[in-house]
Amino acid sequence: MTSSSAAPSVFSALAPYGWDDAWADAFAPHDTEGLLPGRVIRVDRGQCDVVTAEGIVRADTAFVTPHDPLRVVCTGDWVAVEPGGNPRYVRTYLPRRTAFVRSTSSKRSEGQILAANVDHAIVAVSLAVELELGRIERFLALAWESGAQPLVVLTKADLVPDEVTRAHLVQDVELSAPGVTVLTVSAVDGHGLDVLVALVSGGTSVLLGQSGAGKSTLANALLGEDVMEVQAARDVDGKGRHTTTTRNLLALPGGGVLIDTPGLRGVGLWDAGTGVGQVFSEIEELAERCRFHDCAHTAEPGCAVLAAVDAGDLPVRRLESYRKLVRENQWIVAKTDARLRAELRRDWKRKGAEGKAAMEAKRGRRR
């Protein structure tokens, strides 16, 4: 027997937002309770807007507001909503396929979920200012960890008309983003938009980046209309003013779904060890050839990573960025484990002292 959640009206209404047979199967138990399937397109102040076969409804999330901040309802969730009532409530959300999480700026060691059920994580980077490769690597680590496929979009390409210069910038980013497609796009003259539209036409994409990266302008270009408000970036540093203040999910005219997010000033890692490893895959591969399995790549003998740096095969900047993100991620994980935190402190002090001693010995041999 076909459930009501599998009815053509539900599929026709929700398919543009990513509804498929797998989601219908996951929703089946809630369908027998008379609940409605829908996707969260916006969340604010304990309530959310949900697109359903009946249209967009406003629902309260009080029933799914646990102490764990990673289990709150967020934009991109597929939920089970009451068919009526004032107010009506979200009863639960379906198991997430992917989740984009960052650490909060609080001292309580909490993660913040930004978007759920995302297939593509678009990291928008403005070419109007100098590239910050370390920040791009940080975004990519979070993107890989989420389970989504990262994509770097260098916006405002019209501000770099020289093709040779633009190619060098793309190459710099590609070296910092192994396994990731890097595109140059201009919402002003349409450069690269056709390629981007094709890439995001299937599945759900989340748009990430700092304020001033041109996310809202890019979102409007993909949507084909001025849906998102746009503000000019400051001439001094190219930074914007948080034009987007909430995370909004929108169906794209060419297929696919886009989640636009506010500009992120802080993108702290949250248990992103796997993501860091994928961003720095060449260092992880080199590390397998180190003499010691716990090599810190600072001054240890037989370190294949340091040998690659000395040979000019690995940029020093990449290694320094890798060390920074690994250490930050270890500290975030350890914040909830006092014993592990103490062990890390001792280990860092020991390796720091060993590295210092090795450098002093090296200088002594040169004299």
Residues 6+ apart with CB under 8 A from 303: 290, 291, 295, 297
Average pLDDT over residues 175-181: 94
Mean per-residue pLDDT of the chain: 83
Give tens-digit pLDDT for 265-313: 566 777 778 889 999 999 999 999 999 988 889 888 999 999 999 999 9
Q: How confident is the model at residue 85 (pLDDT cuts 50, 70, 90)?
A: confident
Residues 6+ apart with CB under 8 A from 45: none
Query: How far is 268 from 104, CA to CA, in rounded Å?
Result: 7
More reliable by pLDDT, 325 or 360: 325
pLDDT of residue 338: 54
Strands 47-52 and 36-44: antiparallel
pLDDT of residue 177: 95
Structure tokens belonging to residue 6: 């599998």
Average pLDDT over residues 319-326: 93
Percent of the chain with pLDDT over 90: 56
More reliable by pLDDT, 262 or 143: 143
pLDDT of residue 165: 95
Query: How far is 19 from 5, CA to CA, in rounded Å?
Result: 10
The answer to whether 42 and 75 have CB atoms below 8 angstroms apart is yes
Phi-psi region of 254 (alpha: psi -120 to 50; beta: other; left: phi over 0): alpha
DSSP string, 199-233: HHSSSEEEEE--TTSSHHHHHHHHHTS--S---PP
pLDDT of residue 148: 93
Q: How confident is the model at residue 2 (pLDDT cuts 50, 70, 90)?
A: very low
Measured CA distances, 212 to 14, 127, 177, 197 (Å): 32, 10, 21, 21
pLDDT beyond 70 at 349:
no
The answer to whether 265 and 291 have CB atoms below 8 angstroms apart is no
pLDDT beyond 90 at 117:
yes
pLDDT beyond 50 at 238:
no
